[in-house]
Amino acid sequence: MMTEQENPAVTNFRNYIKIKTVHPHPDYASCTEYLQKQAKDLEAEFQVVECIPGKPAVIMTLLGEQPDLQSLLLNSHTDVVPVFPDYWKYDPFSAHKDENGDIYGRGTQDMKCVGIQYLEALKRLKKDGHKFLRTIHLTFVPDEELGGRDGMRHLVKMEVFKNMNIGLALDEGYASSTEKMEVFYGQRTPWRVTIECQGQPGHGSQFIPNTVGKKLRHIINSFLGYRDQQEQKLKDNPQLDLGDVTTVNLTYLKGGVLVNVVPAELSVAFDIRICPSEIETFEDRIRGWCKEAGEGVTYTIRDKLMTKEVTCVEDGKNPWWDAFSAACKKENVQLEKKIFPASTDMKYVRQLGINALGFSPMNHTPRLLHDHNEFLNEKIFLRGIDIYYSIILNLANLKPY
């Protein structure tokens, strides 16, 4: 409930946190109903499209004075990752606010805060009498935490998305523990790679030729050797961030029947996050390692994406970036430009050649997305609305170029 002292925007944020859009059974129906009320308060056009049955994407639209111009997209996802309540100070869906103004709840950082900050900034802009040259679309999409396979991946292929004519999309970033805020102009691409090795089976007492164990050893050494190189590259260059290198992690081994039987098959899986500069050549690496390991070694890549596109963030070379950067300077926001080390729905948007920036205006905040006791301070949250006020105003009124 709202108290006399609490800003209505904070109350709105806390009410959003209380909606249990948590996997594996997110309450998208209650969320959609809540967002419909938000659209009504904003006096925005409202529609719901199902990416697949039961997975609704909410779209709000504020028509610009020159609707033929490329539009601004403000994207956020409605789903949140699972919780382990025993490790939380407070109920993760109570949106409890302590005496310091810290609001606890799953989604406070990832990323219900941003969705509400968009809405509250737009409400204030309209109340202050501002008009927008360009059309503004807000999308609230499902299943981002599952890779967007049943959400944004489908939405970008739909006619309703194509008709939006987007020039720039804004999406989530990270909390920052320092004064600076991070803005992400690209992202690494996640690949789930499984290597299957086939060879000669037999009794464990023999020197059997062509065994799967030797082949698997070569594969593991190749992948983890590359991992060591990338880790050392990051350590050796303080100007690099995690998003500038490729991470490789072995995540499971499978195979075998009995301890005294040499198996005919063994497999290993890796979680790989590929930086944009490596994406076009990385499959060649995998293919080469498999060939070196011997006959009967094959690979599969689950949900293969080839997102190499990045947004130009050089001053004077991209009007969208210049407008965003100018708004941040006006708000005294110190920006750090980075490649996002994880994965967001922008991987699907960037592949269409659309400018995209990841930005969550949260500084002086520990990074707790997906962690226990995720929280955001109400002052940081409200400051984010101020920042988006300036950003949206600049971007939505960017003159034709």
What pLDDT digit, counting tens, does each position of 49-79 carry? 998 999 999 999 999 999 999 999 999 999 9
Q: Phi/psi of residue 371, each to 5°?
A: -100, 170
Q: Which amino acid is at 221?
A: N
Percentage helix, strand, coil, to 5, in the chain?
Answer: 35, 25, 40
Q: Is the pLDDT of residue 3 over 80?
A: no
Q: Is the pLDDT of residue 1 over 50?
A: no
Whether 179 is catalytic is no
Q: Is the pLDDT of residue 220 over 60?
A: yes
Q: Is the pLDDT of residue 120 over 90?
A: yes
Q: Is the pLDDT of residue 185 over 60?
A: yes
Q: Is the pLDDT of residue 2 over 80?
A: no
- The four Cα atoms 395, 134, 382, 170 give a dihedral, to 10 degrees, of -60
pLDDT score of 332: 98
**Catalytic-labelled residue, pool 120, 144, 145, 150:** 144
Mean pLDDT score of the chain? 97
CA distance 25 to 177: 32
pLDDT digits (tens, 9 = 90+) for 132-146: 999 999 999 999 999
Mean pLDDT computed over 165-189: 97
CA distance 207 to 398: 72
pLDDT digits (tens, 9 = 90+) for 347-363: 999 999 999 999 999 99
pLDDT score of 4: 60
pLDDT digits (tens, 9 = 90+) for 227-271: 999 999 999 999 999 999 999 999 999 999 999 999 999 999 999
- The four Cα atoms 4, 5, 11, 12 give a dihedral, to 10 degrees, of 90
pLDDT score of 5: 84
Give the N- to C-terminal CA distance of the chain in Å, as an integer.
47
C-beta neighbour count of 290 within 10 angstroms: 21
pLDDT score of 226: 98
pLDDT digits (tens, 9 = 90+) for 287-308: 999 999 999 999 999 989 999 9
pLDDT score of 213: 96
Q: Is the pLDDT of residue 113 over 80?
A: yes
The strand pairing partners of 262, in sequence order, are 202
Q: Is the pLDDT of residue 391 over 90?
A: yes
Whether 144 is catalytic is yes
Q: Catalogue all structural domains in the chain, each as residue range(s) with its CATH number.
A: 8-187+310-396 (3.40.630.10), 189-302 (3.30.70.360)
pLDDT digits (tens, 9 = 90+) for 321-347: 999 999 999 999 999 999 999 999 999
Q: Is the pLDDT of residue 401 over 90?
A: no
pTM: 0.93
pLDDT score of 303: 84
